[in-house]
Homo-oligomer: A and B are copies of this chain.
Amino acid sequence: MNVNKQPTSLSSRNGDHDLYDTSEETIEKVALEFIQLVGSQYVISKLDERRLRSITKWSPASPSHIPNLVVLPQSTAEVSEILRVCSRNRIPVLGYCGGTSMPGAIAATRGGVCVDFNRMDKIVEVHKEDMDVVVQPAVNWQDLNSHLEEYDLFFPPDPGPGAKIGGMIAMNCSGTNAYRYGPMRQWVISMTVVLADGTIVKTRHRPRKSSAGYDLTNLVVGSEGTLGLVTEAVLKLTSVPKNLHVAVASFPSTHAAIKAATTLVQSGLPIYALEFLDKHSMWAINKSGLSKKLWKENPTLFLLFSGLQAAVQAQVETARRTAEENHCKEFVASARREDIDLWWGTRKSVAQSLMEMKNHPTDLFLNADTAVPISRLADMIEETHQVIAKAGLAGSTLGHVGDGNFHTVIVCPESQRDKGEDVLTWAHHRAIEFEGTVTGEHGIGFKLRDRLVDEVGPEAVAMMKKASGHALLERFR
């Protein structure tokens, strides 16, 4: 075994010395136990492969944030045994599924063991009549929806491509569908969770509704792997949306676009999805060539509709009228499959488009994920544009305005890192002042730990720590 020695800076953080043991001897010892358990090909100690589980293009952690060891179990029982061993040896543990976390939730800030779930990727059972599905953590949400098509069933949460159920649960992800369907936590019925000491807990059975004791399901969803590792989940499903229509509305100003969006939200119209891309985002899409169509580079709303035919048509007309009342320059709508794929695919391509605006591979892709009450959204976005301009940076605002949630993305050279980070820090504090949150869907990871205290206060963080019992606590200590 070639076992990595952790930099001392990690193992000594915040008195970690007493809490954790990631010494070479201990890691070598447990590696042998894991080899007995899962086989040597599933216990990884090569530096490059360990780094791959911690640092990705979406999750640029510090070079030192690397696990000492990666283990790939194949069952709940194996995960239980791995955690029992780690607990006994005081080794910190992180889970890994798709690796698409943006705030660095996969960064092994204390080293330790990475449990990679990618051998647990089965769709275990579809209950068509009950409209639920049992899955393992490494199932990708797009693959799941392909599988469910034959049952006319649909799993709504739609984070970035590549995301997998385990990570989606850990981070309480959402996406463009959350406006209609709510975030991940609304789609998890129950889970099998392995706690730090190896205890296996099933959070609940499969009824759609329950008031039986504390809601362990919701406690674990969004806990970012700090309370335990999820080895199986029962997910709620719904029927596939019918009569899809897509619309794109182009506005003369951010103010007009956001005014139209908030008016639609406040009307209670059951729109499927309501997304905003500012003109810099539209420019990046054209520049990247990721969309087959060339778009007007204006502040733009992307809308989806579905439901009974008559209802959808009425919704599209209401949306068109609202857009026009807010000085919309152009409103186009379509029910053609190819338009839906092209137009909505364009909206979905924006993160990648912005990523491609890097002039150099070492350029930074900095991003924020604030959400505010809808009445504050126009001010929040317009002020963000002013602050970006004042800093002399190139930045975009885009995202799920129907939920009051949007992303600020700044692509800049390393030399402008401080300026970029200052903009994001400003955005976080402004969102808090507006009674909002620093993260609508990406989570805290290791990057926003201090912001969490700023947002909810030390009393709430203390309550979170208490609620964790004696869990792994890779992050919250």
Copies assembled: 2
Interface string of A366-383 (1 = CB under 8 A from B): 000101111100000000
Does A223 make an interface contact (CB < 8 A)? yes
- Check: A455 CB closer than 8 A to any chain B CB: yes
Residue of B nearest to A173 (CB): B211
**Chain B residue with minimal CB distance to A207?**
B371
Once the chains are docked, how many angstroms separate the CA of A185 from the CA of B457?
Answer: 22
Question: Given known contacts A127-B373, A218-B185, A311-B308, is B207 in contact with A460 (CB within 8 Å)?
Answer: no
Q: Are B463 and A404 in touch, CB under 8 angstroms?
A: no
Given A171-B211, A215-B218, A239-B268, the answer on whether A457 and B205 have CB atoms closer than 8 Å is no
- Residues in B with CB closer than 8 Å to A437 are 204-205, 207, 209-212
Does A472 lie at the interface of the complex (its beta carbon under 8 Å from any beta carbon of B)? no
Say yes or no: is A391 at the interface (Cβ < 8 Å to chain B): no
Using A172-B215, A374-B129, A466-B469 as known contacts, say yes or no to A207 and B444 having CB atoms under 8 A apart: no
Asked if A389 is at the interface of the complex by the 8 Å CB criterion, the answer is no
Q: Given A216-B460, A267-B239, A470-B466, A183–B201 Cβ distance below 8 Å?
A: no
Given A209-B441, A213-B456, A268-B238, answer yes or no on A186-B186 (Cβ-Cβ < 8 Å).
yes
Given contacts A172-B211, A211-B444, A221-B215, contact A195 B308 (CB under 8 A): no
Contact flags A434-458 to B (C-beta < 8 A → 1, else 0): 0111111111100010001001110
**A150 within 8 A of partner (CB):** no
Q: A156 → chain B, closest Cβ, in Å?
A: 13
Chain B CB within 8 A of A19 CB? no
B439 touches A210 (CB 8 A): yes
Complex-state Cα separation, A218 to B211, whole angstroms? 12
Q: Are the CB atoms of B209 and A459 closer together than 8 Å?
A: no
Known: A209-B403, A452-B212. A457 touches B202 (CB 8 A): yes
Please determine whether B172 and A404 come into contact, CB atoms closer than 8 angstroms.
no
Distance of A184 from chain B, by nearest CB (Å)? 9
Interface centre among A199, A455, A463 (most CB of B within 10 A): A463
A21 part of interface (Cβ distance < 8 Å): no
Interface size class of A (residues with CB under 8 A): 35 or more
A342 to chain B, nearest CB (A): 27
A132 within 8 A of B: yes
Closest to A234 in B: B435
Q: Of B186, B206, B459, B470, which one neighbours A199 at CB under 8 angstroms? A: B459
A464 on the B face (CB < 8 A)? yes
- Given A127-B373, A373-B130, A205 contacting B435 (CB threshold 8 A): yes
Residue A314, interface by CB 8 Å: yes
**Cα distance, A431 to B372, chains bound together (Å):** 41
Interface residues of A in 232-274 (CB under 8 A from B): 238-239, 262, 265-268, 270
Known contacts A130-B373, A186-B186, A469-B467: A214-B222 contact under CB 8 Å: yes
Name the B residues within 8 Å of A413 (CB-CB): none
**Residues of B close to A468: CB separation below 8 A:** 214, 467
7 CB-based A-B contacts, threshold 8 Å: A131-B266, A182-B186, A199-B462, A206-B373, A211-B437, A310-B311, A466-B469
